[in-house]
Amino acid sequence: MNKTKNRSIKGIVFSVVFTMTALSAAPVMAGTPSAPARTVAASTMVWESATGKCYHSKNNCGKMNPKKAKQITLEQAKAKGLKKCSKCW
Ligand SMILES: [Zn+2]
């Protein structure tokens, strides 16, 4: 009977240690917050000026006509070769 008791206690201690190790390792393994950040960056909206040389963070930054500004995604602006407006970024 004593042998069986010792065995079961060892088993419990092992499982507790294993569980603690697994729990402490989990945040480290999941510690890559790059996926949500990428999604936000891909859907960032910018303003293309009427002259089409720069993209702006707002349509009334003063370097373009807000009525002629077009809203496009940051990806589209970069694909068009537009440069960041030095005033509003
Ligand atoms: Zn601007």
Mean pLDDT of 24-41: 59
Q: How many other C-beta atoms can be found within 10 angstroms of the C-beta atom of residue 16?
A: 10
Tell me what the pLDDT averaged over the chain comes to. Answer: 79
Tell me: pLDDT of 39 over 70: no
How far apart are alpha carbons 77 and 41 in whole angstroms? 13
Q: Measure Cα distances from 72 to 27, 49, 82 in Å.
A: 37, 10, 11
pLDDT of 50: 86
Instruction: Look up the pTM and report it.
Output: 0.52
Residues with CB under 5 A from ligand 1 (ion): 56, 61, 63, 85, 87-88
Amino acid (one-letter) located at 73? T
pLDDT of 25: 62
Distance between Cα 35 and ligand 1 center (Å): 28
Helices (H) and strands (E) in the chain, counts: 3, 4
Q: Which residues are registered as beta bridge partners of 83?
A: 54
Distance between Cα 77 and ligand 1 center (Å): 13
Distance between Cα 45 and ligand 1 center (Å): 13
